[in-house]
Structure 1
Amino acid sequence: MANLTLHFLLIFLSFHCIFAIITESVTSQTQNATNFIVTSCKTTLYPTICVQSLSTYANTIQLNEQELAHAALTVSLSKAKIASTFISKITRMKGLKPRELQASKDCSFNMNDCVYQLTRSIPELGQSGKLASRRDEFTWHVSNVQTWISAALTDQNTCLDMINNPSMDGKIKDSIRVRVFIASQVTSNALALVYKFAEKHS
C-alpha cells in the first residue's frame, strides 16, 4: 500500500513539474513578445496607444515584424469601421442643418474610402511577407500597403477638416472627432510599423 501511495505521489509530482515548466515557458514567451511590442511601438507617434492596442495580440505577434504590422492594421481597420458606421448613422439623423448634413456626408464618404484602403492593405501585407526573399516583388507589395495606409490617413484628416467648422453642432462635432481621431492615431501607428517591417526585409 505504501509503495502504491509513493508511486502516485511521484506521478503527481512529475505532472506538477511538467506543468510548472510549460507555464514558465509560456509566460516567458508572452513577456518577450510584450517587450518586443513595447520596443517597436517607440518608433510610432502614439507609443502608449500602440502598446495598449497591440498587447492583446502578443501571443500571435511573438517577435515577428510582419505579425506586428498585421495586428496594427487589424486594429486600425476596426477603429475606422467604428467611426465610419457612427458617421453613417449621423447622416440619417433628423433635424440636421444643411451644412451639417453635407459635412457629415462628405466625412462619411471619406471614412468609407478609408475602410476600403485599410481592408485591401491587410491581404497585400500578407503577400509581401511571402516574398521577403524576392526583393522586387516584396518592394512592390509593401509599397502598395504604405500607399493605401497613407491614403486612409488622408481620408481621416480630410473628414476631421470637414466637420471642423462653426456650423456644426458641438455635440455632433465632438462625437465624430473623437472616433475619427482614435482611428487616425492607430492608423498612424500601423503605417510606422509597416515601414519598420519594410526596412527590416528590404
Structure 2
Amino acid sequence: MAELEQVRSKCNEKIPLQFTKDSAYVPFEFALRVAVFVAIKFRSDLLQLNQLSFRLNMDGTLLGNKHVVAISVNCVDGGPSCQTAKKLVPVGIFEIQKESNEHLRKTLPKDFLDSIQSVKYLKLTRKKNVAVKIKLGGDFQNAIYVFGLAAVHSNYPCVFCTQHKLYLHVTEKNTECEEEVWTGTGKNKNKQKQKTIVNPTSSYDPTRGA
C-alpha cells in the first residue's frame, strides 16, 4: 500500500488539479488533451483531422448523504470504443448541498466555466492546431440550466424563446391551432385535443416578443 501511495503521489504531481472547499477539477484544455491521447489508441490517424469533436458529460448522484456532480469528457472522433465508461476522462467532481440547478450554478467555480467556454482551438503539436467542437451528453436537464443551452427535448428552440416549437409556423395573428392537453387524474388521465389561439412572435418586432 505504501508503494501504491508513492506512485499515486508521483503521478498526481503531473496533473494540474485545482481544489476548492467542495470541488476538485482540472483545466478543461488539459482534459481535452488527455481525451485525445486516449482516442489515438483507437484511431491512429486522429491527428490528421482539422477539427475534433468532444462529448461533455455531466450527471449527479447521491453518495451517502452528499449530493455529488461528476463531469467528464471524451473524444467522439475516436469511435465507439473510446466512448465507453472506462474511457471517459474525468474533468471535475463537485459536492452540492442538494440536487438543485441553482445550487450547482453557484458551486461551479467561475474559472472552471470560463475554461470550458474559452477553448476554441487545441494545440496538439508544435505545428498542429485543431478546432474544438463540444457536444453535450449525459444529464441534458442540468446542462440547459448550468451552461445556458437548450436541451434536446425542450419545448422551445432555445432558453430565450417564448414561442413553443409546435407554433413556429404561425405567421398570422389570432391563428387557431390544435393542442393536446392532459385531463383527469390517475387511471382516468388521458389526452384530449382542444382549440387555442396563437399569435406569431418575431425577433424583429419588439411588440411580438421573441
TM value normalised by structure 1 = 0.22
Richer in helix (by share): 1
Higher relative contact order (CA 8 A, sep 6+): 1
